Structure 1
Amino acid sequence: MFTTFAKKSLAVLAVTGTAIAASMSPALAEYPEKPITMVIPLGAGGSHDLNARVITSIIPTYLEQAMIVRLTPGAGGQKGTQEVANAPADGYTLLFTHNYIDMLQQHVETLPYDPAEDFVTVARVNFAPIAVAVLADSPYQTMDDLIEASKADPGGIQMAHSGNWGALFVPAAQMMKSLGMEWNLVPYQGGGPALQALLSGDADVTMGFPSSLSSHIDAGTVRILATAGPERIYDDIPTFTEVGVEGDIGFMHRVVLAPADTPEDVLATLSEAFVALGEDRTFTRMMGRLGENIEIITGAEYDAMRAEQSVAYEALVADLTSQ
């Protein structure tokens, strides 16, 4: 009898112990336990892709797990964005996007997600001024040449961009309205494909950011005609302000977002890793080679900026679509 009772007791203890261990294991687990996927809702070869390759090569040092890039272009960035909105809020699927996809598109059309409610900021990595680019052998030697030709032949100049209401489309639309000219805006699935359209001769002009343009400038295949902002980036290239385009036009913020219900401790781990990344010497050097800056803003601080962007973009869309 004793032996039977002992065996039953041991069996009960074994089952109970297993149940306790199973119930405790999630609490004991430390994030991250597996690789993290960073979804880019744009095509290959653009500035986001290039920046992401640098980020994901260094940040595993601070997360002790790999970060894997997944390109999911389509619908002007909505396809990849919706994928992350529908992903589990566990910190293993992040979105690497920009301010136009994030906060402007909602004012243009009804989205299958709510950017303000469905996402929260992990970190804003940097911001970049856009540039107007043509081939080195283009007949448009200066921005004034391009403006004059555009006014003389409305719609005759093909401008490749990264998708309607995206990071290349918006400043192009603002520039056309400000200068009273018209381009034929042709959409591609991201800045990389738009740049390839220029390089192949399928477009007369495009816009781009330092990381995607710098190697082509160095190689002498692409020429910059103007850059965003009031201050010159290149000594011999005018700014948008100098050619008559006023306002805060052509700046893209690269931001990492997570699904809104991601636990606070997971967000904190991710944000701390990005802050450390921003101070990493190798990361700083590699971003410098791309011609990109580094300015990490985390969590609530950039979420407040997102709210301000939404208000500004609502007014912008109303202005650009007004007759």
Structure 2
Amino acid sequence: MLKQTLKTSLAAFALAAATIAGSTSSARAEYPEKPVTMVIPLGAGGSHDLNARVITSIMPTYLNQGMIVQLTPGAGGQKGTQEVARAKADGYKLLFTHNYIDMLQQYVENLPYDPMADFVPVARVNYAPTSVIVRADSPYQTFEDLVADAKANPGKVQMAHSGNWGAFFVPAAQVMQALDISLNLVPYQGGGPALQALLSGDADVTMAFPSALGEMLRAGEIRVLATAGDKRIYDDVPTFSEVGVEGDIGFMHRVVLAPKGTPTEVLDTLSAAFAKMFEDPTFIKLMNRLGESVDPLTGDEYQALRESQATAYKGLVADLTSN
């Protein structure tokens, strides 16, 4: 009798243990269990860094976990991008990048990863027009002043940018081609360092996005000479179209990518969290305070745009390098 009772107790214990183990395994399968790292392949102080700080302040509400910003600049964005490409595809390491690093670099560099094969889009956060800026004490009062000096002194005007074939290099090359001028393009590890080069006097001109300009404009440290597109951002500043630079030049899409192979259920959780964040009044308010828009696309929507970008950039690179 005692032996039978013992057997029954042990069987019940084993069943309970199995049930607990199963419950634990099920709980562990729920994503996310720990903070998610968002890698930015650019330096501190640029528009990506500033946008990411807003995202990571709101996302924990909808992801039920923290989100950590990791700045990993280097090699024109390749260092941080490669780190995420090689990361475990479990949703705990994401890439916050932009269209030039994502889709254009493959046509000018031998990359240690394949953008299409190694990544899947989670969401596009927004897209923003760049601005051509100088220090407040610059002799260039207008964009025409800059162009005139560049024509009179080819290659003498120093322009700091965020990395070769990046978000400032490409529109600068397109502007130079459109206006038949020559600037000395000097690379830095991101928009923040490029801005510091301008402010310190190491460069004559640079570009920047709205989120990076607010404080400096209010402090009277810089002057905006022109902005991308055909719609004015600032009432007294001409657009590229107004100064003779036509076309889709100077726009950056900020996108979140995950390593290819990330489980569908993890991508669904991330997509749902981003969708809720995009409608959050505090998120919208903070983005507006930065001077940034909120123009979300789903992962599938951005993937379609990604594919068209790849085709367009292939032609653009061929065009810019043929001269």
| Length-normalised TM-score, structure 2 | 0.95
Distance 1:11 1:205 in 2: 77
Q: Give the 3-state SS of the residue equivalent to 1:206 in structure 2.
A: strand
Could you tell me which residue of structure 1 aligns to residue 147 of structure 2?
A: 147
User: Which digits, 9 at most, give the CA deviation of each residue in 1:70-100, with x for residues without a partner?
Assistant: 0000111011111111111111111000000
CA distance in 2, matches of 1:312, 1:15: 62
- How far 1:6 moved relative to its partner? 6.0
Structure-2 separation of matches of 1:77 and 1:169? 13
Does 2:252 align with 1:239? no
Q: Trace 1:209-220 onto structure 2 (pairs within 5 A).
A: 209-220=209-220
Matched with 1:120 is: 120
- Which whole-Å CA distance do the structure 2 matches of 1:265 and 1:249 have between them? 37
1:27 aligned partner: 26
Q: Which runs of 5+ in 1 are unaligned?
A: none
**Pair 1:51-2:46 in alignment:** no
Greater shift after overlay, 267-276 or 51-60? 267-276
Match of 1:196 in 2: 196
Aligned partner of 1:85 in structure 2 is 85
Q: What amino acid sits opposite 1:221 in the alignment?
A: E
* 1:228-268 CA distance string (max 9 Å, x none): 00111111111111111111000000000111111111111
CA distance in structure 2 between the partners assigned to 1:14 and 1:163 by the alignment: 62
Deviation, structure 1 residue 150: 0.3
Question: For the structure 1 residues 24 and 140, does the alpha-carbon distance in structure 2 shift closer, same or farther, using more than 3 Å as the test?
Answer: same
- Secondary structure of the 2:207 match is strand
10-19 or 54-63: bigger deviation? 10-19
Aligned partners of 1:87, 1:11: CA distance in 2, in Å? 43
Partner of 2:106: 106
* Fraction of identical pairs, as percent: 68
Query: When the two structures are aligned, how many residues end up with a matched partner?
Result: 322
Q: Tell me whether 1:253 sits opposite 2:253 in the alignment.
A: yes
Question: Paired residue for 2:303?
Answer: 303
| Inter-partner Cα distance in structure 2 for 1:100 and 1:252 | 8
Give, in whole Å, the separation in 2 of the partners of 1:192 and 1:131: 14
- Structure 1 residues 79 and 13: CA distance shift in structure 2, 3 A: farther
CA distance in 2, matches of 1:279, 1:16: 46
Structure 2 counterpart SS, 1:242: helix
**Alignment deviations for residues 121-180 of structure 1 (CA, whole Å, 9 cap, x no partner):** 111000000000000110010000000000110110110000000101110111111111
CA RMSD, Structure 1 to Structure 2 (Å): 1.6
Measure the CA separation in 2 of the matches of 1:194 and 1:273.
33
| Secondary structure of residue in 2 paired with 1:197 | helix
Query: Aligned to 1:59, what secondary structure does the other structure show?
Result: helix
Q: Distance in 1 between matches of 2:294 and 2:131?
A: 18
Q: Corresponding residue for 1:271?
A: 271
What's the TM-score, normalizing by structure 1? Answer: 0.95
